């Protein structure tokens, strides 16, 4: 099973960047360039797997330990995770269209371009819908086997296509500053790359949930990925050897590009060797598809965590399945790909962001995972500005063929992260840009003030699997979306006049809420929880009175929610069905480490959304 996961890791990481830039760098700098690209790429995967296993062990080593950690640790980086994944999908679609389809020269180009993008998006959606994260290792196992057969068939046919020897050394054999202008950003960007990739986090979480080893799975995946890069880069070197020079062309910026060199070579020989061309196209399509279906599944998983209430009126008219679906994001990537292909952009233009803008966020996220644990925020504005400056500096260096600008652009975000962590007052730096709960910074208050020794982990009393037989479980039960707790009012609930004391209604609602939490969050553990649930506001309208020995039913449900708040509605009835009162309360969530306001934790969202 670890091998199946390793295969899925390797295929999903063989996206547009690894798939096509391995050709470009091999043609530019030969075998040494290929190894310079492949080694940090593979090591990045292996290190990610090993460290996520360490994180899971530190978080409790349970089946959901890594998922619980990610749910809270990733909160400040929600937008960055989303942008990273969108750009990765766009880059993959763009690479497949630009370097596998466009060299074919099919006419009318505009019509075929639109149809090709639609087919790619449809295939990604179909496979993403058909295979969830639990089954994707099996579909990738089959696709990986087909790709392996295609690779073997292609390499067997190479002697019949050409007899030239591969060019093992590219331009600039002494590897001057131009080489290091690429090599340093590659080492920085690719080593940190997996830490912002939703696909890899979702895989690591699922691997641990299945009781497998993320470290071993990613070790196997990194090794297989390294072999795939060597095979593809070696094929580029062989193609270059057939004509005696690298098959490069001039881009709109005047620089040389060769990502489509293999495609152009096999397309020219397709009439005499159709199997070779067909095998290569199959390989490219499988590598792209196993990235796109993974991206679809990861986006669906990620978007399902976002609250759906509080949307503007026009969006409320759309089905929730569409609003929480990756389809709008995929449509955007398709449209962006069309525009990029028409403008004749290149893969490197997308890569700039992975070598600069995302590097700072990835490095900071990795350090904060081990520095102070969960619930940490970050200076959003400053990180965005530094990332943007790094992009511009790198772009100037790239277009002006100045390697010093490229190197500076890639290390600038890393250096700034080091400055953030080491400068005086760095502890306060990471609360900027995040909403804070007024009056909670001083520590636990109100209902959360309790001694550690009196708290038992987990639920003290488990709720029974069945009720009492009369439809009224003493631990509460659900009637549709309402959670209902029924009981009998007694003398202790009344005042001196004989009717129920007004404060007891709020007490009853509070008790029902706790039973509701107990049912929805059975694994909640107060000793290990990374968040606390606080009451932000409570209101109740009194409508009727009741007396002792009257049967009372308190109903509570999730009324609405957004990214940070959950509103619970409640109603109270007597045995005759008379409504005694109604009201609502608003809940917020704070970090158990520093009492900073959090987004709704994933496990709370998953527990509540079913009853919203």
Q: What pLDDT does residue 417 have?
A: 86
The Cα–Cα gap between 275 and 268 comes to 13
Between 408 and 366, the more confident residue is 408
Map residue 272 onto helix, strand or coil: coil
Segment 173-194, tens digit of pLDDT: 556 788 889 999 999 998 998 9
Q: How does residue 86 score in pLDDT terms, banded at 50, 70 and 90?
A: very high
Which residues have CB under 8 Å from 310's CB, separation 6+? 560, 561, 562
Cis (ω within 30 of 0) for the bond into 108? yes
Domain residue spans in the chain?
2-308+317-349, 446-609
β-pair partners for 256: 250
Q: What pLDDT does residue 324 have?
A: 62
pLDDT, mean of residues 394-405: 93
Between 425 and 522, the more confident residue is 522
Segment 451-479, tens digit of pLDDT: 344 434 443 444 444 444 444 567 788 88
Which residues have CB under 8 Å from 451's CB, separation 6+? none
Which residues have CB under 8 Å from 576's CB, separation 6+? none
Task: Give the Cα-Cα-Cα angle 262, 266, 268 (nearest 5 degrees).
Answer: 120
DSSP secondary structure of 308-349: -TT--HHHHTS-HHHHTSSHHHHHHHHHHHHHHHHTT--HHH
- 341-380 as b/e: b if 16+ CB within 10 A: beeebbbbbbbbbbbbbbbbbbbbbbebbeeebbbbbbbb
Q: Note the pTM of the prediction, 2 decimals.
A: 0.70
Q: How many Cβ atoms are within 10 Å of 134's Cβ, its own excluded?
A: 11
The Cα–Cα gap between 175 and 155 comes to 30
Q: Is 560 a residue whose pLDDT tops 90?
A: no
Q: Is 487 a residue whose pLDDT tops 50?
A: yes
As a whole number, the mean pLDDT across the chain is 83
The Cα–Cα gap between 159 and 167 comes to 15
Q: Is 42 a residue whose pLDDT tops 90?
A: yes
Q: Is 404 a residue whose pLDDT tops 50?
A: yes
DSSP secondary structure of 181-237: HHHHHHHHHHHHGGGG-HHHHHHHHHHHHTT--HHHHHHHHHHHHHHHHHHHHHHHH
DSSP state of 441: T
Between 256 and 173, the more confident residue is 256
Segment 410-453, tens digit of pLDDT: 999 999 888 877 776 555 554 443 333 333 333 333 333 333 44
Dihedral angle computed from the Cα positions of residues 262, 248, 239 and 116, in that order, rounded to the nearest 10 degrees? 10
Q: How does residue 580 score in pLDDT terms, banded at 50, 70 and 90?
A: very high
Q: Pick from 210, 55, 72: which is nearest to 603 by CA?
A: 72
Segment 297-328, tens digit of pLDDT: 999 888 875 433 344 445 444 555 565 678 88
The Cα–Cα gap between 579 and 585 comes to 18
pLDDT, mean of residues 374-386: 72
Query: Do 94 and 338 contact (CB within 8 A), yes or no?
Result: no
**Cα 418 versus chain centre, distance:** 25
CATH number of 446-609: 3.10.129.10
Q: What pLDDT does residue 612 have?
A: 65
Which residues have CB under 8 Å from 419's CB, separation 6+? none
Rg value, the chain, Cα: 29
Q: What pLDDT does residue 239 have?
A: 92
Segment 338-352, tens digit of pLDDT: 999 999 999 999 999
β-bridge pairing 482-488 and 566-574: unpaired
Sign of the CA dihedral with 63 first, then 68, 73, and 76 last: positive
Q: Is 15 a residue whose pLDDT tops 50?
A: yes
Q: Is 102 a residue whose pLDDT tops 50?
A: yes
Q: How does residue 267 score in pLDDT terms, banded at 50, 70 and 90?
A: very high
Q: What pLDDT does residue 203 have?
A: 94
Q: Pick from 220, 190, 217: which is nearest to 205 by CA?
A: 217
Dihedral angle computed from the Cα positions of residues 139, 140, 146 and 149, in that order, rounded to the nearest 10 degrees? -150
Q: What pLDDT does residue 306 have?
A: 47
Q: What pLDDT does residue 446 have?
A: 38
């Amino acid at each position: 099973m670890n091998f199946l996961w390793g295969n899925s890791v390797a295929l999903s990481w063989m996206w547009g960047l690894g798939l096509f830039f391995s050709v470009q760098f091999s043609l530019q700098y030969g075998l040494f360039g290929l190894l310079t690209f492949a080694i940090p790429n593979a090591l990045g995967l292996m290190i990610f797997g090993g460290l996520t296993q360490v994180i899971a062990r530190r978080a409790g080593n349970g089946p959901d330990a890594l998922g619980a950690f990610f749910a809270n640790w990733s909160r400040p980086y929600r937008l960055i995770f989303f942008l990273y994944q969108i750009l990765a999908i766009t880059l993959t679609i763009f690479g497949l269209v630009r370097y596998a389809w466009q060299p074919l020269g099919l006419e009318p180009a505009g019509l075929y371009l639109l149809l090709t993008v639609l087919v790619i998006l449809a295939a990604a959606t179909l496979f993403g819908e058909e295979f969830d994260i639990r089954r994707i290792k099996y579909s990738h196992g089959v696709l990986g086997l087909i790709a392996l057969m295609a690779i073997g068939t292609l390499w067997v046919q190479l002697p019949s296509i050409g007899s030239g020897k591969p060019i093992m050394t590219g331009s600039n054999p002494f590897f001057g500053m131009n080489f290091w202008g690429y090599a340093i950003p590659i080492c920085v960007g690719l080593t940190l790359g997996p830490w912002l990739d939703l696909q890899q986090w979702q895989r690591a979480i699922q691997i641990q949930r299945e009781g497998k080893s993320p470290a071993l799975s990613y070790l196997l995946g990194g090794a297989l990925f390294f072999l795939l890069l060597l095979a593809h880069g070696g094929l580029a070197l062989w193609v270059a050897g057939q004509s005696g020079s690298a098959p490069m062309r001039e881009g709109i910026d005047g620089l040389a590009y060769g990502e489509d060199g293999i495609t152009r070579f096999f397309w020219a020989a397709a009439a005499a060797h159709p199997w070779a061309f067909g095998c290569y196209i199959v390989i490219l399509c499988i590598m792209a598809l196993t990235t796109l279906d993974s991206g679809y599944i990861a986006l669906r998983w990620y978007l399902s965590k976002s609250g759906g209430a509080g949307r503007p009126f026009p969006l409320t008219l759309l089905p929730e399945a569409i609003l929480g679906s990756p389809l709008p994001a995929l449509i955007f990537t398709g449209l962006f790909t069309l525009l990029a292909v028409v403008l004749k952009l290149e893969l490197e233009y997308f890569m700039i962001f992975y070598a600069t803008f995302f590097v700072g966020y990835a490095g900071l996220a990795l350090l904060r995972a081990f520095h102070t644990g969960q619930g940490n925020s970050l200076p959003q504005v400053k990180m965005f500005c530094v990332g943007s400056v790094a992009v511009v500096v790198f772009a100037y260096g790239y277009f002006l063929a100045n390697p010093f600008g490229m190197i500076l652009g890639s290390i600038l975000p890393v250096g700034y992260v080091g400055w953030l962590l080491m400068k005086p007052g760095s502890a306060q730096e990471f609360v900027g840009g995040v909403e804070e709960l007024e009056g909670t910074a001083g520590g636990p208050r109100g209902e959360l003030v309790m001694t550690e020794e009196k708290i038992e982990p987990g639920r003290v009393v488990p709720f029974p699997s069945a009720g009492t037989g009369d439809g009224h479980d003493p631990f509460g039960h659900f009637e549709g979306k309402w959670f209902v707790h029924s009981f009998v009012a007694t003398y202790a609930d009344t005042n001196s006049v004989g009717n129920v004391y007004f404060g007891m209604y709020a007490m009853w609602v509070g008790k029902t809420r706790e039973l509701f939490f107990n049912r929805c969050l059975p694994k909640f553990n107060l000793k290990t929880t990374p968040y606390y649930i606080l009451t932000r506001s409570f209101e109740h309208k009194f409508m009727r009175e009741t007396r002792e020995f009257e049967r009372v039913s308190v109903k509570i449900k999730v009324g609405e929610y957004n990214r940070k708040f959950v509103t619970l509605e409640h109603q109270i009835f007597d045995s005759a069905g008379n409504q005694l009162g109604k009201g609502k309360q608003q809940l917020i969530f704070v970090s158990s480490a520093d009492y900073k306001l959090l987004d709704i934790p994933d496990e709370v969202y998953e527990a509540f959304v079913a009853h919203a």
